Amino acid sequence: MANSTSSVLGQTIVVENRPGGAAGTVGTRVVVSADPDGYTLLLSIVGSLTIAPALYKLDYDPLKDLAPIAIVEQNPEILTVNPAMPNSLAEFIAYAKSNPGKVNLSSPGVGTLPHLLGALLQLVSNIKLTHVPYRGAGPAITDLLAGQMQVMFNNPSVVAEHLESGKLRALGVSSDTRFAQLPNVPTFIEQGYSRLSATEWLGLLAPAGTPEPIVQKLNSVVNHAMQMPDARVSLRKLSVETKAVTPQEFKTFMAAEIQKWAQVVTDANIKAK
């Protein structure tokens, strides 16, 4: 993204990673307190922007302290199981109901989108799984492949090779329509679970108070850059899709996401660790 956007802007973009903190909120705080001049921007995911507010006592409000610019990319989550599990979502749910608490649900960590989707799956299907949080997707998938874990929501790019080889099986996809790279996997909507419709997304934001002309200019640049051939090829390799939206559409989307995940956190009684 940085290379494509830089070429359109005609300016160098310096990417500064700020790892650590609750759900990636460290980098968010840096941008919240930065000058609203359009030169310090935040590239962040659903977790720190719309899930963290329900789990942590934040000293900022994503909707009030940030100016949404553009959604850079989106991808669905795939409900994947070890091959020892049933072949369909309906059969899996029936199995889980017959074995409450005996099916292990792995995730990259508490408060991640896969964790909350796992919690939501239990709520909408009235099943009880045992959640086992890991420190990252890698070790969680390793144990899923080994059969120590039985089910996990995953990014398509992470599990594509395992699905292709048959080492894992996909029971459903969280996009509204079937995912182009997994055309034979039905959506949750098709299977009667519309609340499981969700995406892992990456968004670009600026500090609140950034002049509207700057926000609009950056929105135009990013949307254009994401349609450039080299960007589209790179994104396709990562199994992600682009979605051009206006800053106001992005803000409306964020507000709905915050409300949605706050309800899941409350209903599932999820606590940050």
pLDDT tens digits, one per residue of 190-215 = 999 999 999 999 999 999 999 999 99
Q: What are phi and psi of 240, to 5 degrees?
A: -120, 160
Give the residue from 165, 196, 227 where a domain finishes. 196
- Give the integer Cα–Cα distance in Å for 69 and 24: 19
State residue 91 phi and psi, 5-degree precision.
-70, -35
Same domain for 240 and 192, yes or no, is no
Mean of pLDDT values over 75-104: 96
Q: Which domain holds residue 92?
A: 78-196
Per cent of the chain over pLDDT 70 is 87
Tell me 110's DSSP state.
Answer: T
Domain ends where: 134, 164, 196? Answer: 196
Are both 171 and 261 inside the same structural domain? no
* Distance (Å, whole) CA 247 – CA 214: 11
Average pLDDT, the chain: 89
- Of the candidates 143, 166, 196, which is a domain's last residue? 196
192 and 203 in a single domain? The answer is: no
**Same domain assignment for residues 146 and 86:** yes
In a domain, 273, yes or no: no
Residue 38 lies in a domain: yes
Interval 5-14: pLDDT, tens: 545 455 555 5
Same domain, 149 and 180: yes
The CATH number linked to 262 is 3.40.190.150
Q: Which residues lie closer than 8 Å to 146 by C-beta, 6 or more apart?
A: none
Residue 233 main-chain phi, psi, to 5 deg: -65, -45
Q: Which residues contact 138 (CB under 8 A, 6 or more apart)?
A: none
- 100 vs 237: which has the higher pLDDT: 100
Residue range 43-68: average pLDDT?
92
Please indicate, yes or no, whether residues 241 and 262 belong to a single structural domain of this protein. Answer: yes
Residue 121 falls within a domain, yes or no?
yes
Residue 133 included in any domain: yes
**In a domain? residue 98:** yes
Cα(120)–Cα(214) distance, integer angstroms: 38
Q: What is the mean pLDDT of residues 62-80?
A: 95
Residue 110: phi, psi to the nearest 5? -65, 135
Q: Are 66 and 42 in contact (CB under 8 A)?
A: yes
Whether 187 is covered by a domain: the verdict is: yes
- 111 and 86 in a common domain: yes
Indicate whether 137 and 225 sit together in one domain: no
Q: How far apart are the first and last CA of the chain?
A: 33
pLDDT(22) > 80: no
Residue closest to 136 by CA, chosen among 112, 104, 161: 112
Task: Verify that 214 and 262 share a domain, yes or no.
Answer: yes
List Cα–Cα distances, 2 to 13, 66, 210, in angstroms: 6, 20, 20
Give the CA count within 13 Å in the CB-facing half-sphere of 88. 7
Domain count, the chain: 2
**170-195 confidence digits (pLDDT tens):** 999 999 999 988 999 999 999 999 99
Q: Which ranges of the chain would DSSP assign to H, the alpha helix? A: 2-9, 25-32, 46, 52-55, 62-65, 89-98, 113-125, 137-146, 156-165, 212-225, 229-237, 247-268
Shared domain check, 24 and 12: yes
pLDDT confidence of residue 115: 96
108 and 216 belong to one structural domain: no
Beta bridge partners of 80: 152, 170
CATH of the domain at 84: 3.40.190.10
35 and 117 in a common domain:
no
Mean pLDDT of all residues in 66-88? 95
